[in-house]
Structure 1
């Protein structure tokens, strides 16, 4: 009788272990943890030779995506990162950079306006257009696409929130 009780306890503990394991975050630790001494985007643009091969953790808002045969290049508007490594929602543009990701990324999922954080090595500067400045290219090792921010709708539309007779 005691053996069957212990085997049931083991089964219950195993189920709990798998359920809790499924709830664990799938967030890449290299993207999550800040890098000490990570250079800024402007410092890299000024002296690419010094920083070439260095690893950085940058993030921002996707501005464009371009799929090639074996890789994807994402243009990202750089933004400062919050403590959880999510790009801050501020309208300060630190510049732009390009992220080289091996494989195909669906442009419907990785679309402009989505926030993304990447971890990778600085490769070189690339000219994106005729009048645009040179953009640093990162060879991405790990990345995280953030869920869209959801804000509650305003409780009352503008003219209806004022008391009567206030117009």
Structure 2
């Protein structure tokens, strides 16, 4: 079998196999799902009012109130499985509003979450000494990512060509 023919079959097959390993998205995108990032919504709240979003990121803070819980989240882009990508540039902060009580201990700072919900407004607050506008999302569904789920679909195989230098 010639090398070209082998590569023509092997490359698409290997891409298909790697794609098959990636988990499916956890939330369904609908016609009312807004693709704007939190930073855009904070700058133009009227344009996105009552839109549905699927956002995720890193937990910054959890605050409980008598009838709901608020989670401040530093948003990151999501991959095709809707997992936050914390190695990317942050894309704004938002407040996720959950009905009822969430145990803050179960959502440690830096933990990764993805939420699905509706934009319910904006709030002015502060990040350190700087004033900040937070979009608010009333959460319909949420998912807290485990380290095993974050690794899923990322094979521990690497290919490379290089030169190694050792000192004896």
| TM-score of Structure 1 vs Structure 2, range by shorter chain | 0.5 to 0.7
Shift of residue 164, structure 1, vs aligned partner: 5.7
1:56 is matched with 53
2:110 is matched with 113
Q: Highest Rg: 1 or 2?
A: 1
Matched, 1:39 2:36: yes
Q: CA RMSD in A?
A: 2.2
Give the TM-score taking structure 1 as reference length: 0.67
Shift of residue 66, structure 1, vs aligned partner: 0.5
Per-residue Cα deviation, 1:104-142 (whole angstroms, up to 9, x for no partner): 111111111110001111111112236331100101111
Per-residue Cα deviation, 1:77-123 (whole angstroms, up to 9, x for no partner): 00000111110131411110000000111111111111000111111
**Structural mapping, 1:85-164, within 5 Å:** 85-129=82-126, 131-148=130-147, 163=166
CA contact (8 A) 2:98 2:138 kept: yes
2:17 is matched with none
Per-residue Cα deviation, 1:41-99 (whole angstroms, up to 9, x for no partner): 22211211121111111000101111111111000000000111110131411110000
2-side partners of 1:81 and 1:34: how far apart?
Answer: 13
2-side partners of 1:97 and 1:76: how far apart?
Answer: 6
May I ask how many residue pairs the two structures share in their alignment?
Answer: 126
Per-residue Cα deviation, 1:138-163 (whole angstroms, up to 9, x for no partner): 01111111113688xxxxxxxxxx85
1:8 is matched with none
Matched, 1:80 2:43: no
